[in-house]
Every structure is written in structure tokens, then in C-alpha cells.
């Protein structure tokens, strides 16, 4: 069998390995497969007694791991992968399934069971081909398993405990790693060694060959179909059925409902015709789910650990105007983008790949292009562009948050550390240069414009004739308010430095008349008269004493009757 052309079929596809196992990653990387790793959140808690053979449990778990990742990536609007690979390795001895030990005592129990005996290692594998159509995730699933027999020598208690104390058993099915120290415990291996390590590479390649180069109809005509043949959706795929017996293929269509849950149905197209089914029972400690809980990934924590990288990828791509460039000229190759924006080709390619894996860009053989949401929110000129806020987050908030530790220790703002100057007045820092001022105004404008409609319609303000938006900056909310309430006149009150720079942000067209701009300092100057005062994204900036001053001033100018204060 020539392996390379088979794996070559995956080169142009977005392949995701739904596994946190470093061994699986290494096995697949070693043969040159390019893939992303998205560990599955599926909890390995399937009821073992509901399976008639251990391998069925491994196959079903592998399938559920892969399905969870495929569905999650689809639900979260990350770019739907082309292929998701899931795997699950178990050890079976005396008709019992052993997974990863939960502690040293558990590892000892497992290794004692294996001591001096032959056992089976099963790895179940699921290969899911995904296709997104009209927000529906269509999946074609192929699964199979591989069995390898392993025999342990007679091992002394001392040796077992020495091995356990090495720490190696803890993240490994059956409590041993044949590829490392655990290799010393093993007398013989019958079958695929890599299957024991965690991934049956040879069977995987054969399966891909069957999928991508199926036997011709002529060769397959003697095969017996036991159920409905699958619909041919793969490139270069004919109607032929696979040769080998211990796998199953079926199609699943999963449609997202409004709650983000998926509903799925499966149509089987072949069966495990010659798979050997052996009975097995489930050890008590596994039935109560204790051992499975040890394998749970702290996904929330992992997400938080890595979140800053994803944010920075978005910030840098925005700063380099990659989304603007691709809107104008996409799809583009990394080298052309790098030439356009004057960056290194290798660095740019990595950044673009990171954007693609975060679902911000599409990557096809033609090059990179914007996703719909990148076109809407990440280019700098769109109506709902968040570009300004992203640049503010990168240039202003990021350096401040880098000093969060000091802020907590000292209980003070960190502008001196982040920018080398004191922030006596928060806004002095924003307005010390024309560039920083415009960046800050663009940030406020972009977030206000995106949220203005929701804010304007969150309350029924139709009873009011006049409103004053205190700290209303570019007037994004004010303009939305006069659209929603045609009888309302809105005054935007903000610092003179802001009012002097609003022209760039004003909407063109006829609906601008009822919005007026007044400059002043709401702590020092008289507030314009109005029926309604709006404080949007203002109070969080100030300490309690200053908030008290501001609210007291508003309260003093409010007229009885119709007057009402709203704090948004
Ligand atoms: C017998 C044996 C197993 N393993 C590892 O045992 C884990 C099994 O657990 P799993 O549940 O199949 O996988 P995981 O590690 O939890 O990852 P995930 O796919 O995310 O569930 C995998 O790691 C395997 O390599 C070895 O490294 N060497 C060996 O000799």
C-alpha cells in the first residue's frame, strides 16, 4: 500500500484531531499530516454494560468525541472542519474494560490485573467528513477499531510500585505506556504497536484508501449489502463499499436549533459483519463514573489560559488591516498579503492560519478570504465595524491589563506603567494626542453604533420630547434615538476636545437635524435642559465621589412631573 497519496487526500482539507492525547498528535504529525487539535469535551461516561463487546464501547466513545467537536465548531460558527478524527483507547482483560487510572491505587489495581497475562488493547477511531449547508451540519461518519494483544511478564510488587511512582501510568489506558518505561513490562505484542500507543495508523490509512479510492463496482459486486448504500459525497468516490469488516459508515445530518442543541439521525450503510463479539462485564469502579471523571478536561480553564492568544491574533490582524485588504482583493495568498502590508511571509502565513482556525478567515486552495462576519465587523469601513474598538483594546486596554497584577497590589490605575504618564484625569490620557483621541473616539463610536438600536429600544422613551446624552461622544446613540423616536430632540454633551472632532463620525443624509452637540465638562458646567438624561458607558469610569457629584447635578436639574432619569 502506498501511504503518501492517501494522506495527500487530506492536504487540502481542514483536518481536526478531536483528541488531547499527545501520542495521537505525535503519530499523525510524524507521517506529515497537517491538522488542528481541538480536544473533545465529551465525557467518557457511556454505560459500558449497554455494549456487548469492549470494542463497541471504544468505537462509540471515539465517535461521540468527534461528533462533539464537529458540532461545537459548527455551533460556535468556527469554520466547519472538513474532517474530524476522534479516537479512544481501552484495555480489556478478563472481560473488563480499563481506562485511565484515577490515582496510584487505581493504577496498582489495573497493573495487578494485567500482571503475567495477555490482554487486548482496542482503539476505536471515528473519521467524520463534515459539510455545512444552509446552517445545517451534514456529516458522514466512518468508524472502525483495531485490536492488539499484549502480554505482561510476571512482575514483582516492588517493580509495579516503582513504575507507578514514575507517574507514567496516570494518563494512559490500563495504567501503562508501552512506548516508554511501560515497554519494560511487556513480553510480547501481537498486532499493531501504534494501536497500543493510541492510534492504529495502518488501519487508518487503509480506511482512508477505502474512502478515497474505493474498489471498482466490478470488484465490489460480490459484496453483500445489508442496508441502504451511502450517498456519494466525497471527491473521487465511487459506489464501492470498503473491503474490511470491522468498521461502520453512516450519514448524519445535524441541524442547529435556536438553543444551539443539535438533533441528529443516522442511516447505516454497512455493518460490522465479521467483528468478533466477546462478552464482558464492567468493573464497579468504572460503573459509578469515578474513573471517568479523572479524564475530564478543565476546558473552561484551558480556554482562559489561551484566550489572550486568540485576542492578540484578532488585534494584530485588525491592526495590519488584513480584513480590509481581503475585502478589497480576496482571496489572496499569504505571500501577496505579506507583500501588500510589508510583513514577513512566514509570520503572515502563521497569523492567517491562526485567523482561519479562529473562524475569522476562510482558507481554500485559492488563498485566504474574509468570512461574512469579518466583512461585517472587522473591516474598518463597515456600518457595524468593530475595528475602532479592537484597536483601542490592543493599544490602550492591553497594556493596562498587562499591569493588572500591580493594579490589584496597589489599588490604583496603571497608566504610569503602561504609558509612562500619570492619569490624574482619565480622559487626559485619551486626549493627549490627536491620534490617541481619534482612536478612542473611533472605539466608542464603533461599539455604540453596534449596540445603539438595542439600547434605544430597551425602554419605551416615546413620552419624552428632549434628551441629553451625557458623554455621548460622537452621537452614535443619539442618532439612533432620533430614528426610533422621531419626536425626540437629543443633545449630546461632551468635552470640547471631543465635540471639535465629531464631524468625521456624523452620518450623511437627512436624519441628522434633531441631534445637537454642546461642549462642556459635566462635572463643572451647567447641564443642558432635558426631559431625560442618558449616561451610557460613563459611570464605570469614575470613583464613587465623582459619580455622586454627577448624579446630584442631574437630580438638581430634573424637573418634576415628566422628568425622569434613566441610567443606561
Ligand atoms: C495502552 C496505552 C495507552 N496510552 C494512552 O492512553 C490514552 C487513552 O485514553 P483516551 O481516552 O483514549 O485518550 P485521551 O488521552 O484521554 O485523549 P482524548 O482523545 O482527548 O480523549 C491515550 O492518550 C493513549 O495515547 C499510551 O500512551 N500508551 C499505551 O501503551
Query: From ligand 1's centre to the CA of 185, what distance in Å?
Result: 18
pLDDT greater than 80 at residue 40: yes
User: Grid coordinates 478515497 are at which residue?
Assistant: 212
| Ligand 1, atom nearest to 172 Cα | 6
Domain coordinates in residue numbering, the chain: 3-297, 298-370, 446-566
Give CA–CA dist 78/354, Å, rounded. Answer: 12
CATH code of domain 3-297: 3.90.950.10
Decide: helix, strand or coil at residue 305.
helix
The rounded mean pLDDT for the chain is 82
Ligand 1 atom closest to Cα of residue 295: 16
Q: Does domain 298-370 have CATH number 2.40.50.140?
A: no
Residue 272 pLDDT more than 60?
no
Beta carbon of 89 within 6 Å of any ligand 1 atom:
yes
**Per annotation, catalytic residue among 88, 429, 494, 531:** 88
Residue 564 Cα to ligand 1 midpoint, Å, equals 63
At 261, the pLDDT band (50, 70, 90 cuts) reads very low
**What does the block give as the cell for 423?**
492619569
**Has residue 252 got a pLDDT over 70?**
no
Q: Whose CA is nearest to atom 25 of ligand 1?
A: 198
Q: Is 30 exposed, middle or buried (0-12, 13-18, 19+ CB in 10 A)?
A: exposed
Contact 234, 212 (CB under 8 A): yes
173 lines ligand 1 (CB under 6 A): yes
* Cα(277) to centroid(ligand 1), Å: 23
**Whether residue 343 has its Cβ less than 6 Å from ligand 1:** no
Q: How far is the CA of 89 from the centre of ligand 1 (A)?
A: 6
Alpha helices in 358-414 (DSSP H): 372-373, 387-392, 398-402, 404-410
Q: How confident is the model at residue 424 (pLDDT cuts 50, 70, 90)?
A: low
Looking at domain 446-566, its CATH architecture is: 3-Layer(aba) Sandwich (3.40)
DSSP 540: G
Residue entry with cell 494512559: 172
Are 83 and 127 in contact by the 8 Å Cβ rule? The answer is yes
CB contact set of 147 (below 8 Å; sequence gap of 6+)? 55, 120, 121, 122, 191, 195
In the three-class reduction of DSSP (H, G, I as helix; E, B as strand; rest coil), residue 455 is classed as helix
Higher model confidence: residue 436 or residue 388?
388
Buried b (16+ CB within 10 A) or exposed e, 460-477: ebeebeebbbbbbbbbbb
Quick check: is 88 catalytic? yes
pLDDT at 118: 97
The atom number, within ligand 1, closest to the CA of 88 reads: 12
- Give tens-digit pLDDT for 290-349: 343 444 567 788 888 989 999 999 999 999 999 999 999 989 999 999 999 999 999 999
Q: Is the CB of 295 under 6 A from ligand 1?
A: yes
Q: Which residue has the higher pLDDT, 383 or 218?
A: 383
> Does 178 sit in the ligand 1 pocket, CB within 6 Å?
yes
Highest mean pLDDT, choosing among 174-183, 233-242, 274-283, 379-388: 174-183
Query: Is 226 exposed, middle or buried, given 0-12, 13-18 or 19+ CB atoms closer than 10 A?
Result: exposed
Amino acid at each position: 500500500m502506498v501511504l503518501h497519496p492517501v494522506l495527500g487526500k487530506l492536504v487540502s482539507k481542514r483536518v481536526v484531531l478531536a483528541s488531547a492525547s499527545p501520542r495521537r498528535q505525535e503519530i499523525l504529525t510524524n507521517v506529515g499530516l497537517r491538522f488542528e487539535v481541538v480536544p473533545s469535551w465529551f465525557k467518557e461516561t457511556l454505560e459500558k454494560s449497554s455494549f456487548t463487546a469492549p470494542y463497541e464501547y471504544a468505537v462509540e466513545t471515539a465517535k461521540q468525541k468527534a461528533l462533539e467537536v464537529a458540532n461545537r465548531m459548527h455551533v460556535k460558527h468556527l469554520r466547519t472542519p472538513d474532517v474530524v478524527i476522534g479516537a479512544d483507547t481501552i484495555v480489556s482483560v478478563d472481560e473488563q474494560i480499563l481506562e485511565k487510572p484515577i490515582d496510584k491505587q487505581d493504577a496498582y489495581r489495573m497493573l495487578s490485573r494485567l500482571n503475567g497475562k495477555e490482554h487486548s488493547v482496542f482503539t476505536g477511531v471515528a473519521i467524520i467528513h463534515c459539510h455545512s449547508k444552509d446552517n445545517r451540519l451534514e456529516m458522514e461518519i466512518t468508524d472502525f477499531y483495531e485490536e492488539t494483544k499484549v502480554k505482561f511478564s510476571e512482575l514483582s510488587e516492588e517493580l509495579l510500585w516503582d513504575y507507578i511512582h514514575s507517574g507514567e501510568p496516570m494518563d494512559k489506558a490500563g495504567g501503562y505506556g508501552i512506548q516508554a518505561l511501560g515497554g519494560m513490562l511487556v513480553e510480547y505484542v501481537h498486532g499493531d504497536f501504534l494501536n497500543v500507543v493510541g492510534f492504529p495508523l495502518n488501519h487508518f490509512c487503509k480506511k482512508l484508501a477505502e474512502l478515497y479510492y474505493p474498489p471498482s463496482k466490478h470488484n465490489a459486486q460480490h459484496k453483500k449489502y445489508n442496508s441502504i448504500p451511502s450517498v456519494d459525497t466525497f471527491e473521487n468516490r465511487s459506489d464501492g463499499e470498503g473491503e474490511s469488516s470491522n468498521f461502520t459508515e453512516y450519514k448524519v445530518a445535524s441541524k442547529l436549533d435556536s438553543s444551539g442543541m443539535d438533533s441528529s439521525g443516522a442511516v447505516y450503510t454497512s455493518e460490522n459483519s465479521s467483528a468478533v463479539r466477546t462478552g464482558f462485564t464492567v468493573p464497579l469502579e468504572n460503573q459509578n463514573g469515578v474513573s471517568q471523571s479523572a479524564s475530564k478536561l478543565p476546558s473552561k480553564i484551558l480556554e482562559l489560559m489561551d484566550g489572550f492568544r486568540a485576542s492578540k491574533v484578532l488585534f494584530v490582524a485588525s491592526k495590519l488591516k488584513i480584513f480590509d485588504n481581503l475585502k478589497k482583493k480576496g482571496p489572496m495568498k499569504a505571500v501577496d498579503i505579506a507583500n501588500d502590508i510589508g510583513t514577513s511571509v512566514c509570520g503572515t502565513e502563521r497569523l492567517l492560519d491562526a485567523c482561519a482556525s479562529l473562524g475569522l478567515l476562510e482558507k481554500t486552495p485559492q488563498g485566504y478570504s474574509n468570512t461574512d462576519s469579518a466583512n461585517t465587523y472587522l473591516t474598518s469601513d463597515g456600518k457595524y465595524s468593530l475595528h475602532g474598538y479592537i484597536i483601542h483594546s490592543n493599544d490602550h486596554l492591553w497594556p493596562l491589563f498587562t499591569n493588572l497584577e500591580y493594579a490589584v497590589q496597589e489599588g490604583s490605575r496603571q497608566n504610569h506603567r503602561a504609558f509612562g504618564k500619570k492619569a490624574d484625569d482619565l480622559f487626559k490620557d485619551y486626549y493627549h494626542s490627536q491620534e490617541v483621541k481619534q482612536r478612542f473616539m473611533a472605539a466608542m463610536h464603533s461599539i455604540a453604533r453596534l449596540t445603539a438600536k438595542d439600547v434605544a429600544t430597551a425602554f419605551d422613551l416615546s413620552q419624552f420630547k428632549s434628551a441629553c446624552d451625557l458623554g455621548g461622544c460622537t452621537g452614535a446613540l443619539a442618532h439612533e434615538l432620533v430614528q426610533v423616536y422621531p419626536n425626540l430632540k437629543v443633545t449630546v454633551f461632551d468635552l470640547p476636545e471631543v465635540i471639535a472632532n465629531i464631524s468625521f463620525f456624523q452620518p450623511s443624509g437627512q436624519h441628522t437635524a434633531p441631534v445637537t452637540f454642546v461642549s462642556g465638562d459635566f462635572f463643572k458646567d451647567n447641564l443642558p435642559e432635558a426631559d431625560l438624561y442618558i449616561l451610557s458607558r460613563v459611570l464605570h469610569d469614575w470613583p464613587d465621589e465623582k459619580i455622586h457629584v454627577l448624579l446630584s447635578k442631574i437630580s438638581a436639574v430634573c424637573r418634576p412631573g415628566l422628568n425622569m432619569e434613566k441610567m443606561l
